Amino acid sequence: MTLSEQREKGMGSTMHATEVFGAWVTTFQRERLHADVLHHAKRAVIDWYAALFPGLAADPVPQLQALLADELGQGRARRFDGQALPARSAALLHGTAAHAAEVDDSFRDAMYHPGAATVAAALAAAQERGASGLDFLRGVVLGYEVSTRIGVVLGRPHYRHWHSTGTVGTFGAAAAAAGLFALHGAPFAHALATAATFAAGLQQAFRTDSMSKPLHAGRAAEGGLLAAQLAAQGVTGARDVLDGEVGLGRAMSDGPDWAQVGATLGRDFHITRLTFKNHIGCGHTFAAIDATLELARRHGLRPDEVARVHVATYGPALDIACHTQPQTENEARFSLPFVVATALVHGSVRLSAYTPERLADPRLRDMLGRVSAAVDPAIDAGFPGRRAARVEIETRDGRRLSWLQPDRKGDPELPLSDAELQDKLLELASPVIGAARARALLAGIHALEAAPDLRALVA
């Protein structure tokens, strides 16, 4: 809803961004979810569970579970295995786990992984209040629609220093939980306003070897849920905290214009345009992986035929996937040369790519030394709306092969099919909970809109 539309509706000309969202939620909660939006919400939940289970074994999730052990058996939320846990602790744990394996979804234009924190908080809030499956899905949609728009406004200047999954994710969690607590209007705006003061997460935390990055998503889930709980108790926030003179827009971005933040609410549902990962690791490397695999397929390349590989891509891909000689699993996930070398040597980049054996593989280390990368100004100009890469391979017999990958497999232009997304969940969840339980979970997600509660989501 734009400022001019507010004036037409008699809302005045001084509504702040938080109030625009609060006003829209009143309408959203009354309207029926369109079948297409409902379908995409289920896809988001399927992908969230696909990310959750492999993340349970990734640092720092085991350490976090140990710290939360004393809280087991308390609260109305449920841990992934069905054990009772207080809602904020469940959100913290699940939000962290869903981001830890680097398999979670993203909304490209906001440079942001919305699912990890948003779904974790929605699940905890829905369990706390005994909500239906449909109410849970509505909360998920609400979290995606609000937070992605905030992320788009904050833009690339925000992404220079801040990890958007930790910052913007707090709003996704707050909006989802506030919706499930039946907040709208001013209380909903206050939930977002308080959430803004919790928003944090620095990119420096994952430009060196560190376990902190997944905690950004967990803390976003926990903080957003807390903000909604406080708003439900009457706690108020500064409603101009996003667009005020010393608000979040100025503190964490370049003083962006918030006037159009709600312009397409209710008409363009961002949840229908998500990116779901088709590889394991940092999504900024995926166009390069896709291009490498395409060249290998088209030309039948064997690793020993490759003399040199050069990747041309956009700036943040090199800023974030920055490790050129990774020594640890975490560094390898954020190494563009490593994943390109892995694609050439092994033909895919799955969870097995990051084992100690793979890190020490002499063939992989040899290939790693042949990979270089640089920023291409034309490709960089398309970021964040396009995540392209061009890969050039020089063979030992003198051939020069090139492929421009304008979009990643899994982007809205090249989406994963429903079957591919379901296979992703089965692949990643079955080793943890077994194939039968993974299939039962998948069936439960598909039936959510008719479910009176969320028992089917407990694995």
Quick one: the chain helix, strand, coil %, rounded to 5? 60, 10, 35
Q: What is the pLDDT of residue 2?
A: 43
Q: What is the pLDDT of residue 369?
A: 95
Query: Which residue bears the tokens 């939006």?
Result: 37
Computed over every residue of the chain, the mean pLDDT equals 95
Confidence category of residue 207, pLDDT binned at 50, 70, 90: confident
**Tokens (6 digits) for 134:** 């449909």
| Residue from 439, 412, 330, 414 nearest 49 by CA | 439
How is domain 283-405 classified at the CATH fold level? 60s Ribosomal Protein L30; Chain: A; (3.30.1330)
Q: Which percentage of the chain shows pLDDT scores above 90?
A: 95
| DSSP collapsed to 3 states, 45-108 | HHHHHHHHHHHCCCCCHHHHHHHCHHHCCCCCEECCCCCEECHHHHHHHHHHHHHHCCCCCEEH
pLDDT exceeds cutoff 60 at 297: yes
The DSSP letter of residue 145 is: H
Phi, psi of 36 (to 5 degrees): -65, -40
Mean pLDDT, range 415-433, rounded to an integer: 98
CB 307 within 8 A of CB 370: yes
- pTM of the predicted structure, to 2 decimals: 0.94
pLDDT exceeds cutoff 60 at 8: no
Sequence-distant (≥ 6) Cβ neighbours of residue 230 within 8 angstroms:
191, 194
Mean pLDDT, range 1-25, rounded to an integer: 68
Mean pLDDT, range 112-141, rounded to an integer: 98
Counting DSSP H helices and E strands in the chain, the numbers are 20, 6
Mean pLDDT, range 118-129, rounded to an integer: 98
Q: What is the pLDDT of residue 11?
A: 41
Mean pLDDT, range 272-295, rounded to an integer: 97
Mean pLDDT, range 182-200, rounded to an integer: 98
pLDDT exceeds cutoff 70 at 444: yes
Q: What is the pLDDT of residue 3?
A: 39
Q: What is the pLDDT of residue 14?
A: 78
Confidence category of residue 458, pLDDT binned at 50, 70, 90: confident
pLDDT exceeds cutoff 70 at 7: no
pLDDT exceeds cutoff 60 at 13: no
Q: What is the pLDDT of residue 247?
A: 98
Q: What is the pLDDT of residue 244?
A: 97
Q: How far apart are CA 369 and CA 367, in angstroms?
A: 5
Asked whether the bond before 60 is cis by omega within 30 degrees of 0, the reply is: yes
Q: Collapse the DSSP code of 280 into the 3-class scheme (helix H, G, I; strand E, B; otherwise coil) and give the result.
A: coil
pLDDT exceeds cutoff 50 at 257: yes
Q: What is the pLDDT of residue 187?
A: 98
Mean pLDDT, range 281-290, rounded to an integer: 97
pLDDT exceeds cutoff 60 at 77: yes
pLDDT exceeds cutoff 50 at 80: yes
Could you state, in order of their start, the residue ranges of all structural domains in the chain? 3-273, 283-405
The CATH number of 3-273 is which of 2.40.50.100, 3.40.50.1700, 1.10.4100.10, 1.20.140.150?
1.10.4100.10
Q: Where are the alpha helices (DSSP H) in 85-210?
A: 87-100, 115-129, 133-159, 164-180, 186-196
**Tokens (6 digits) for 268:** 């363009």
Confidence category of residue 459, pLDDT binned at 50, 70, 90: low
pLDDT exceeds cutoff 50 at 236: yes
Q: What is the pLDDT of residue 9?
A: 45
Mean pLDDT, range 94-118, rounded to an integer: 97
Confidence category of residue 340, pLDDT binned at 50, 70, 90: very high
Q: How far apart are CA 236 and CA 112, in angstroms?
A: 27
Mean pLDDT, range 309-318, rounded to an integer: 97
pLDDT exceeds cutoff 60 at 157: yes
Q: What is the pLDDT of residue 179?
A: 98
Mean pLDDT, range 240-267, rounded to an integer: 97
Q: What is the pLDDT of residue 34?
A: 96
Mean pLDDT, range 393-411, rounded to an integer: 97
Mean pLDDT, range 183-190, rounded to an integer: 98
